Structure 1
Amino acid sequence: MLNGKSSVALGLFVLLFGINQLFLYDTTLTYIIAAVFILMGGFSAWIGYKAYRHHVPYVIKEAEEMSKS
């Protein structure tokens, strides 16, 4: 679950960094690199979110079992 959260955070950082670069520089190379960062960041955040949502029910079940004992 923590791995999913960290993947979302890193993906958002890379995505937002790519968006930030679009506002700072006006070269073709910057647009290409920013597009790669935006795609990689978005993909990483999406996969991390899916991993997080996969593990949440197991964490809830484990927490319920721990509170019973």
Structure 2
Amino acid sequence: MIIFPFIIVISLVLYIFFKVRIFSLKDELLMRYTNSKARISLGVLLFFFGINQYLFYETRLSLFIGIIFLFFGFIQAQYGVKLFKHYRKEIVRRGEVTG
């Protein structure tokens, strides 16, 4: 399955991009918004890394480690989506007030 390593690399690049982009932002709300996107990328990275590890090795140990990666990846992505929606609403609200 060539798709899983491709998704892993893309999500790693996006995670690094968002983390580096935080340093260039001055507004704390935009920093938190960008950090939520980085959390989603990290969650996708962990999730698909867990799947890829099990499919590559197919042992009982890789199954347990893959389940741990799946769990933490899902939790990280879910929390990132929650933060993303919250901060997006705050940015829209702030834009309407100042605009």
Query: Considering only CA atoms, is the larger Rg found in Structure 1 or Structure 2?
Result: 1
Unaligned runs of 5+ in 1: none
Normalising by structure 1, report the TM-score: 0.87
Structure scoring higher RCO (CA < 8 A, sep ≥ 6) equals 1
Q: Tell me the matched-pair count.
A: 67
Unaligned runs of 5+ in 2: 1-32
Runs (4+) of structure 1 exceeding 2 A deviation are 61-66
Identity among equivalent pairs (%): 30
Q: Quick one: which amino acid aligns to residue 16 of structure 1?
A: F
Normalising by structure 2, report the TM-score: 0.62
- Distance, in Å, in 2 between the alignment partners of 1:15 and 1:29 is 17
**Aligned Cα root-mean-square deviation (Å):** 1.2
